[in-house]
Structure 1
Amino acid sequence: MLDPQKIEQFAKQITDAMPEGIRTMAQETEDKVKQVIQAQLARMDIVTREEFDVQSQVLLRTREKLIALETRLDALENPEKEAE
């Protein structure tokens, strides 16, 4: 398996060997791409992982309560089932 540190060192050596103008252009391009991605993500209607996990727990509790209520309702509507 390739060592990630060695790959990082190799990439740095290649970057350091490039002329200054190309390095600057590459950095500016990377910065611009990051800005565009961040702007697009900000426009999307997405939630954080924490918010998702909280809502998942709320949904799970709601399902459990619904199942309990359905069971109680079924027992009230069909008392003969409980006698069996």
Structure 2
Amino acid sequence: MIGKKIFEEVSAKLSETIANSPAKDVEKNVKAMLGSAFNRMDLVTREEFDIQQQVLIKTRTKLTELEERLARLEGSQPLEQVETSDMPSATENAEQAENTENKAV
């Protein structure tokens, strides 16, 4: 127990000495300089990166679901055919235009 107490006292004294020494000031200055450099580099924090990673995962999942839904809808009767079934086809339109030109001549 006495050895542990002495170790704790020495540790506390060293921490106090380092906290009051120029080394601590140098450490603070280096941290400030690095922080400033990182801010200028437009780096993101790990937390921001993790959040964006989760957003990307959700977006990919949603995209996959929508692609599957679209494939199922395209597998059934396409909406364009349902809506345009009463309209003439492109070849019928061309024939009608040709007939109109022939009548005009």
* Unaligned segments of structure 1, at least 5 residues: 1-5, 80-84
Residue 31 of structure 2 aligns with an amino acid whose one-letter code is: K
State the Cα deviation string for residues 53-84 of structure 1 (Å, max 9, x = none): 332232222112111111112223334xxxxx
1:47 corresponds in structure 2 to: 44
Larger relative CO (CA 8 A, sep 6+): 1 or 2? 1
2:11 corresponds in structure 1 to: 9
Structure 2: how far apart are the matches of 1:11 and 1:43?
Answer: 38
State which structure, 1 or 2, has the greater radius of gyration over its C-alpha atoms. 2
Relative to structure 1, is the Cα distance of residues 37 and 11 closer, same or farther in structure 2, using a 3 angstrom cutoff? farther
Residue 50 of structure 2 aligns with an amino acid whose one-letter code is: D
State the Cα deviation string for residues 32-53 of structure 1 (Å, max 9, x = none): 2122112112212122344333
* Unaligned segments of structure 2, at least 5 residues: 1-6, 77-105
Residue 9 of structure 1 aligns with an amino acid whose one-letter code is: S
Q: Does 1:36 align with 2:33?
A: yes
Structure 1: how far apart are the matches of 2:61 and 2:24?
Answer: 52
2:75 corresponds in structure 1 to: 78
Q: Report the 3-state secondary structure (helix = DSSP H, G, I; strand = E; otherwise coil) of the residue aligned with 2:42.
A: coil
State the TM-score, normalizing by the size of structure 1.
Answer: 0.52
Runs (4 or more) in structure 1 with deviation over 4 Å come to: none
Q: Does 1:69 align with 2:66?
A: yes
State the TM-score, normalizing by the size of structure 2.
Answer: 0.45
C-alpha RMSD over aligned residues: 3.2
Structure 1: how far apart are the matches of 2:37 and 2:45?
Answer: 15
Relative to structure 1, is the Cα distance of residues 29 and 50 closer, same or farther in structure 2, using a 3 angstrom cutoff? closer
